[in-house]
Amino acid sequence: MGEDNWIHQFPPRLPTPPRLPTPPRLPTPPRLPTPPRLPTPPRLPTPPAPSSDFEESDHEMGSRRNRLLEDEYPTATLPKMRNALEFIRMVKEATLASQFDAEELAELLEPQEHISTPPDDPSLKLSLLNYISFMGCSQDIYEAACQNVRQCYPDIELLSHYRVERQARLLSGVITWEHHMCVKSCVAFTGPFAGLEQCPNCGEARYEEKDLEESNGERKVPRKVFTTFPVGPQLQARWKHPQTAKNMFYRWEKTQELRREPNDPLDIYDRESLSER
Ligand SMILES: [Zn+2]
């Protein structure tokens, strides 16, 4: 017997199972009677046409909605909740004019060209370099570094922290805001806390008591401050140098690449920047 015939004979054919009997047919269920048709409801009268003055109508609707909201959500009684709502309201109502002073706002809305080259004066340059290096540190660190430099180079005239900050602001256009805060860092005296003279959390005094006593409450020196850099002037400053202005187009350029080659996966890493590191 050849090998092919052996494959065709395996497995052996099973006998056909006996045919099962057909199940008996079930009787058809009786047809249910059709429900009686309900009478058609009477047609409601057409409502009167809205007022032709739509603005007034919207206004009325708005004030009605406001009244409803006020009724539904009464003023919070828990102090923390009340403060949170007050912060939300103040953030909602904040405008550029309410945050920036007139000079800062004019500079933000219509920025003038700045000198983008670093200053040639070595004293100014060193002062600025130190200021940038110690940004975020205490003011005392900057002053201590200046003292160290003066010990080695007595003839050098380094700028005070106040003056170097002003120069940095003039050269870059980036401004800083200082806010008072609790000496234990519980809260900032902003928003609903702006008028407080003690921390609402720990009760620590906001101002130096010695200065207040010596000046009969006239000289208010904060015990602790924090500095913030508003984002608007930072963005404007980026347009003042060719390289940073070019960098501002990064997202736009990558979007154009995507549109040109929709089937190619976009390289999400900037290889040029990575290789520079
Ligand atoms: Zn506190």
**Ligand 1 center to residue 184 CA distance, Å?**
5
CB atoms within 10 A of CB 182: 22
Q: What separation in angstroms does the CA of 269 have from each of 39, 248, 256, 261?
A: 72, 16, 16, 17
Whole-number Å distance between alpha carbons of 229 and 142 = 19
Q: What does the pLDDT look like over 169-217, one tens digit per residue?
A: 888 888 888 999 999 999 999 999 999 999 999 999 999 999 999 999 8
pLDDT one-digit tens code per residue, 141-156: 999 999 999 999 988 8
Q: How far is the CA of 94 from the centre of ligand 1 (A)?
A: 26
The distance of Cα 126 from the centroid of its chain, to the nearest Å, equals 35
Could you tell me the distance, in angstroms and rounded to a whole number, from the CA of residue 209 to the centre of ligand 1?
16
189 C-alpha to center of ligand 1: Å? 10
Q: Which of 53-67, 75-89, 170-184, 227-241 has the lowest mean pLDDT?
A: 53-67
Which of 21-35, 152-166, 211-225 bottoms out in mean pLDDT, i.e. has the lowest?
21-35
Give me 237's structure tokens. Answer: 């400053």
Name the residue type at position 131.
Answer: Y
| CA 193/CA 87 separation, integer angstroms | 10
Output the pLDDT for position 1: 44
pLDDT higher at 153 or 260 = 153
Q: What is the pLDDT of residues 94-104, one digit of tens each?
A: 999 988 989 88
Residue 147, amino acid:
Q
CA of residue 81 to ligand 1 center, whole Å:
18
What is the per-residue DSSP string for 70-88? HHHSPPP-SHHHHHHHHHH
Residue 73 corresponds to which amino acid?
Y
Residues whose CB falls within 8 Å of the CB of residue 248, separated by 6 or more in sequence, listed in order = 238, 239
Query: How many angstroms is it from 182 CA to the middle of ligand 1?
Result: 5
* Residues by chain with Cβ below 5 Å of ion ligand 1: 182, 184, 186, 199, 201-202, 204
**pTM of the shown model:** 0.53
Task: Considering only residues 26 and 231, tell me which one the structure prediction assigns the higher pLDDT.
Answer: 231
Give the mean model confidence (pLDDT) for residues 114-131.
79
